[in-house]
Amino acid sequence: MNQKPPALRLQGVFKQFGTKSAPVLAVNDVSLTVERGEFIALLGRSGCGKTTTLRLIAGFERVDSGTIEIDGALMAGNSVHVRPERRRVGMVFQEYALFPHVSAQANIEFGLRSMSAAEKRARTNEILDLTRLAGLEGRMPHELSGGQQQRVALARALAPNPALILLDEPFSNLDAGLRARVRSEVVEILHAAKATAVFVTHDQEEALSMVDRVAVMLDGCVEQVASPHELYTNPASRSVAEFIGEANFLPGFGHGDTIECELGNLAARQKVHGPVDILLRPENIELLPAQPGLPAARVRHSLFFGHDQLITVQLPTGTHVIARSGPSEAYVSDLPLQLAVRSPVIAYPRKR
């Protein structure tokens, strides 16, 4: 029995803009495989190449070199460029791009024009139920809430049963209160549809909470592809560690299985030797009462969020670190403390 190809495969993709005298390398040797039914995020700062990568997948831009395959078929590269409408890709844009002059149902049916009337009706009803839009199909886009418009855009993308769904910063226009609920709805709908999806975002919380895997992009390159848990707890490089979540870095010196630093000798997750930078997440730092006769760290300020708080602490050497604690303790300015580290810790060779 032949194994089915992945839903999406990028191999050695490059894309450059600008002029010959002033080129800008937007996508730099990107390789990525997305399995069928997988939901993956392209996460990165503005200008990292994530949106250009999405546009290359969709066919809105041409690759300079490398290949893109969708469902095993070559879509780009080796002198091939399949037009966007022939790639079996559904697109959810940042602005939704709904047709304002027709109903929600007509928007959803846009990609079903090749079907018979009976087939179109059956598929539309199926998608309306899937996206919880039944009863709203007769409304015009301006009569729908932001979350409902989002679901219409997703329903329109899903209706033709594409090989791949692409979502370009789809939650950026929603207010904070609505965003979390709509994110949850979108994940449920995509899973129920057994859809394969690639999602572009700069929002770490969105990426880590929604998808099966995250591809972190920095300066046009994919730095790491991993599950949200693996990405946060075991970043492949200092650059990824700095980008994902809150991160403290302390200088240390590796002695194989241990690292010597100003917080003591810490167990190392991997063998390290020589000068290193130790990654300490705020939740890996434990705040303890000061002990008589021992040098004390001191609270400089705290940010209280209700469910937890972030406390900036100055070590005896003057170094500042951020620790995370529950809401029960009050950490007033200049409070003396001792710090303990929940090890083992990750460390990266220090750049010279």
**pLDDT at position 170:** 87
Mention every residue, 6+ apart, whose C-beta is less than 8 A from residue 72.
Answer: 4, 5, 6
C-alpha–C-alpha distance, residues 1 and 17, integer Å: 43
Neighbours of 148 (CB within 10 A): 18
Neighbours of 317 (CB within 10 A): 10
Rg (CA), the chain: 25
**pLDDT at position 324:** 96
**pLDDT at position 2:** 65
Count of H-run helices and E-run strands, the chain: 8, 19
Low-confidence ranges of the chain (pLDDT < 70): 1-2, 96, 352
Tokens of 340: 């303990």
Residue 183 near residue 171 (C-beta atoms within 8 A): yes
Q: Which residues of 164-189 are buried (b: 16+ CB within 10 A; e: fewer)?
A: bbbbbbbbeebeeeebeebbebbbeb
Tokens of 165: 């769904």
**pLDDT at position 1:** 53
Tokens of 14: 């490059």
Q: Which of 133, 135, 115, 11 is nearest to 63 (CA)?
A: 11
**pLDDT at position 294:** 84
**pLDDT at position 275:** 97
C-alpha–C-alpha distance, residues 135 and 352, integer Å: 64
Tokens of 189: 């709908």
C-alpha–C-alpha distance, residues 109 and 272, integer Å: 59
Question: Pairing state of beta strands 164-168 and 8-18?
Answer: unpaired
C-alpha–C-alpha distance, residues 141 and 153, integer Å: 10
Mention every residue, 6+ apart, whose C-beta is less than 8 A from residue 292.
Answer: none
C-alpha–C-alpha distance, residues 197 and 166, integer Å: 6
Residue 286 near residue 341 (C-beta atoms within 8 A): yes
Sketch out the chain's domains with CATH numbers. Answer: 8-88+162-242 (3.40.50.300), 246-349 (2.40.50.140)
Q: Which of 167, 148, 246, 241 is nearest to 206 (CA)?
A: 167
pLDDT digits over 229-255, tens only? Answer: 999 999 999 999 999 999 999 999 999
pLDDT digits over 17-71, tens only? Answer: 988 889 899 999 999 999 999 999 999 999 999 999 999 999 999 999 999 999 9
